[in-house]
Amino acid sequence: MAVIATVTDPDGRRVDLTDERWAYIIRPDRHPELEPLQAQILAAVERPDDRLRGREANEEWFYVSGVGPRLWLRVVVAFEAERGWIVTAFARRQKP
């Protein structure tokens, strides 16, 4: 897996987006509408409007509003120590 972009989250942790994860996010059966929004997805991790704990112990959800086809864009990031990687991203009508 090649890293295609790296950003720093508000806690100073490095977060990578790999080519494999990007291909997964924009697959035709997943979220192809996000393909032109890669920069906004990365910005959501750098400067989120909100953050929540994810379902997994090592997971965090980053939210930004007003980006994409719905009210909210959620970016799911998994962390190991002080490094993370974007797992997926998708549009949501509301936060949970």
The CATH number for 26's domain is: 3.30.2310
10 burial class (0-12, 13-18, 19+ CB within 10 angstroms)? Answer: exposed
**In this model, does residue 16 exceed pLDDT 90?**
yes
Domain limits at 10?
A: 3-92
pTM: 0.93
Strands 14-18 and 83-92: parallel
Please give the average per-residue pLDDT across 32-39, as a whole number: 95
Give the confidence band of 96 by pLDDT, cuts at 50, 70, 90. Answer: low
- Per-residue pLDDT, 58: 96
Our count of domains for the chain comes to 1
